[in-house]
Amino acid sequence: MTRVIVNMPATATRGEVIEIRTLAGHEMETGFRRTQTGELVPRNIITRFTCSYNGVEVFRADLHPAVAANPLLSFSTVATESGTLEFRWTGDRDFNVSHSAAITVV
C-alpha cells in the first residue's frame, strides 16, 4: 500500500508562483547494509521524481542513497493555465506511483 500526499493550492491567479509539497511513503534501503550472514541487502530507493503540468515537465529530481525515507519534496512553479499536474515517483523494484491534482487558474 503506497501512499502519497500532495499539497498545493486548488486555485491560483495567472502568473502566480505556487508552492507544491509532496510526501511519498517509501521505506528506503541504501544498498550498503548487510544481513547477519553477510549478504548485501539489495538497494530499494526512489530514484526519480517528476512533475508535469499539462504534459510539460516543470520539475524533476534524481534521488540517491542517503535520501530520507518517506521523502518530502517542496518546489514551486508558475501557474500558467488551468489543468492537471501529474506527479510520478519511480525507483528500484519497479516502484512506480503516480498522482494527479487539478488546478484552476483565474
Partner 1 sequence: MTARLFLFLLVFSAAAGAEIPLAERRSGYEFMARETRAMQDDDATNPAALWLLDGEALWNRKAGGADKACAGCHAVEKMKGVAARFPALHAGKLVNLDQRINLCRVEQQKAPALQLEGRDLLALAAYVGRQSRGLPIEIAVTSESKPFLEAGRAAFQRRQGQLNLSCAQCHDQNWGKSLAGSAIPQAHPTGYPLYRLEWQGLGSLQRRLRNCFIGVRAEPYAYGAQEYVELELYLMWRARGMKLETPAVRP
Q: Which is nearer to partner 1, 47 or 70 (CB)?
A: 70
Q: Which is nearer to partner 1, 69 or 102 (CB)?
A: 69
Smallest separation (angstroms) from partner 1 to the CB of 1: 6
Q: Give the binding site for partner 1 (CB under 8 A).
A: 1, 3, 5, 7, 21, 23, 25, 28, 68-70, 72, 74
Query: What CA–CA distance (Å, rounded) separates 52 from 56?
Result: 5
